[in-house]
Structure 1
């Protein structure tokens, strides 16, 4: 059985001006490694919060998140070593070259092949001629390619992308989507994309919408349900 993430009866609320705002409640979802998912909805609906919850980077108000890896079921805290994250704002270190930005996650893990692997991934995303350029010397599309390479360089089981094409023109957005989906498929990584773009969302195998606290499947397909 594939590794997967399971959210069970997840709710997320916060206080604002002495009142409680609930983004969503009693949400159930399974994210299976090797499959792609898109979450759409208006700004402020809670899409990014949901992404942070399912990646284990934030804790829900109520409910439980599990990471099922092989025959072991663990909390989402154990997921962090197996995920890559891609942000709309790229979050590259400005003082580092493209090569060193991509190599950084591997260097932090003590991988002596960090630079070699980073070179390989920059070649995969079409930036082999730009490895010594710093972020300020790259276009938005090129910076996002670096961010994708950085997220995938250690071959994580899951990739989370928060508006990965939000700051790009249509041509660059299409190129980034092509790279993102093909690289995840090649590496059997689960992909979860939060996006306002219907074009990007419709490339995913499973499409969901989050609006006014309601989370639902946007198509008629049946989500694979996994019993934990």
Structure 2
């Protein structure tokens, strides 16, 4: 399935909970949300509201306690398992492989897909995020902002239909956070990808076209 045909991700009456001390804790209930490719969404709310859990459900990395999450392509609905390989995820902790260079980290998703010119495409994406001069450096030789740029390049290198980012600027200083945000939004726009991010930053959330605020088990669409 080609990612370019993925047009929407939809949540249908989704609820999610977990068990703590033998008691069920409800994070949110009865969510009905639509994500469209090419648009940017921010998920905000207080700590413990379930922002990261919602992101994991939207991306198909976890299953909801109730309801369902589906994707649309060519007018047909399908389960998230059918489109998972066409979705990119950016973690707050970067999750780069420490023994690999920046180039090897970015090329890896392509090599796993059998793409023959993986390194050439990886070089191109590292240049796009301003790291064309750091190809051979390993993560420990890069700053936090540079590591996050590598993570962005790795997530976008296979041209996914949607990018999901969990606090992508949460571990960065103000200057690095602003630079990473600029790169993330511009690269997703250039690629026509949908962007969904969790953030505590009001400034970052304001850059998204739509804001979902989670609080007290409900999701409020603020714009």
Normalised by the length of structure 2, the TM-score is: 0.96
Q: Does 1:185 align with 2:196?
A: no
Work out whether residues 38 and 193 of structure 2, in 8 Å CA contact, stay in contact via their aligned partners in 1: yes
* Partner SS for 1:99: helix
Q: Which residue of 1 aligns with 2:20?
A: 16
Distance 1:62 1:7 in 2: 11
User: Could you give the per-residue CA deviations for residues 47-66 of structure 1, whole angstroms, max 9, x where no partner exists?
Assistant: 00000101111011110111
Q: In the alignment, is residue 158 of structure 1 matched against residue 173 of structure 2? A: no
2:135 equivalent to 1:131: yes
* Distance in 2 of aligned mates of 1:79 and 1:215: 25
Residue by residue, what CA displacement relative to the aligned partner does 1:5-43 show, whole Å, maximum 9, x if unpaired?
Answer: 000000001111121100000001000000000000111
Mapping 1:15-34, distance limit 5 Å: 15-34=19-38
In the alignment, the residues of structure 2 paired with residue 190 and residue 75 of structure 1 have an alpha-carbon distance, to the nearest angstrom, of 18
Counterpart position of 2:53: 49
Task: Tell me what 1:115 maps to.
Answer: 119
The answer for unaligned runs of 5 or more in structure 1 is 220-228
- Displacement, 1:79? 2.1
Task: Give SS of 1:15's match.
Answer: strand
Q: Give structure 2 stretches of 5+ with no counterpart.
A: none
C-alpha distance in 1 between matches for 2:156 and 2:6: 19
Cα contact 1:67–1:75 (8 A) shared by 2:
yes
Rounded Cα–Cα distance in structure 2 between residues aligned with 1:18 and 1:122 = 47
| Distance in 2 between residues matched to 1:11 and 1:79, nearest whole Å | 21
SS at match of 2:172: coil
When structure 1 is superposed on structure 2, of 184-193 and 73-82 the one drifting more is 73-82
TM-score normalised by structure 1 residue count: 0.94
Aligned residues, how many? 219
**Structure 1 stretches of 4+ moved >3 Å:** none
**Pairs within 5 Å for 1:1-228:** 3-219=7-223
Tell whether the 8 Å contact from 1:2 to 1:32 is kept in structure 2 after alignment: no
Whole-Å separation in 2 of the counterparts to 1:120 and 1:2: 24
C-alpha distance in structure 1 between counterparts of 2:151 and 2:24, whole Å: 36
- In 1, Cα distance between the equivalents of 2:197 and 2:95? 17
